[in-house]
Structure 1
Amino acid sequence: MSQPREARGIPSVEGLHQQSKKTLGQVMGELTENVLMPNSPAADEVGEDDDPGDFDEIRFRTRFNIEVPVEHHEDTLVALRALVDLRNELVHHFLEKHDIWTESGCVEAQAYLDACYEQVDERYMELHAWAKSSVEAREYMASLMQTPEFMDFILHGILPAGAGVEWECSTIVKLLRKAETALAQDNWTSLSDAIASIQKEHPEHTPRRYGCSSWRQVLHESRQFLVRKERTDPNRSTKIWYRSEDK
């Protein structure tokens, strides 16, 4: 199974180390350009570069964005960029603009710093709320990924809540193909022989687990195999043979 891609917008430990080497302006640029998005249908669209194309195994990706109402998105960007400008002004030009050698100058500088603090504190609370939501979302996703339903979907192709099966990449189809490779006679495999082999090595993978009442239904529902029925003796049951459609 493919390894899950790193969640966009949620850096790894290595990513955090790299972020610590960047300037505040660079970090804010990445936040405003790659993470902070307007709350609109276009934000959820998958681009052509994200199309995985044809695949024969379960894949999934995660993407983390902070969505802001469209009418407030631009104002939020302006406020965050102003925070970077404020930082640069305080670090590089504060002493140039304020006379801290006189009492009146100190009073004026103090009032200015108080105003800056209020602006910084407002942005801090906003960023803190976003970070808290990010952590909560990651914890929820981690708990979800530990459920039996999620593991059945990722490992075996069984969709949650009885929604069906991704047959092409399901484990039961892979087991039928494996039995086919080992037991085929003239490109056809006895279903009864395949069932015996699968039940011996993987008894937990039954048709019922995949929403089917029988192995014949698995062959029919999966649409991955051709089926041949053979009845040589009226007193005996019909023998079922199968083979992969691509053979």
Structure 2
Amino acid sequence: MMPIGEGLRTQVVQLQGSESLYRCQLTVFAYDTPQVDAAYDAAYGCLSSAERAYCDRLKVRKRALEFTFGRYVAKEAARAAADGALARESFEIRQGLFNQPILVCPDGRDLEVSIAHSNGVAMALVHPRACPLGIDLEVLDGRTLSTMTEHLTEHESALMDRHPVASDRSYLPAVIWTAKESLSKVFKSGLLVPFDLFEVQSISTRSEVMTSAFRSFSHYVAASARVGDFVASIAYPKMTDLRTESGAPFPSLALPGSSQAG
């Protein structure tokens, strides 16, 4: 098994609409390990010539790691979406006008990808174009949470103060932030528009999954969960029901600090 095989996890995420079932593939890889150099070499080998050229121009190692492993997990998710019939190397992740990732499939499959990375973890969700989705991931540390808290709107601050579970309030800024950023990726805007545009209107909690509704985008919601030292969010159409293949309300992510990470 090549070095990157350790710690790589891919699973099915399903969204049930009124008439259609949309199958997506979510891949996560925690690469901040003593084997990171060997894993990087393996992931770099899966890049296209254009992707390698871009990566080689990156002067900061952290950025090169994020780019390379982000592309790798995206290609692994795409390979899974193709039922393993296509090699990772046959996919390419190009950059759009706003630097959004554009998945190019060798057989012309109508798929899109959303990529996130934080503190040594890369995550990608490949989904049918017909069902727009976005993901985000953030580590829970004091500095990051402080920055997120500073960017809360007045309404979001009030939501946090009124949240019924006191123990959740410590990481609620990360829930709100990742919910908003995952929605921004649905619209391919990222942080190029005022973040307040994606203001969270309400938050409900069920089975340790928080669901955010948006003031200006009532046709979307975001599911968020704390997993170890991280918070992850998936923004998806409100008219669908998000479940894993086993029926769980949120994917099982083996992230650092979680019991699943071992």
Which structure is higher in helix share?
1
Name the larger-Rg structure: 1
TM-score, length-normalised on structure 2?
0.23
TM-score, length-normalised on structure 1?
0.24
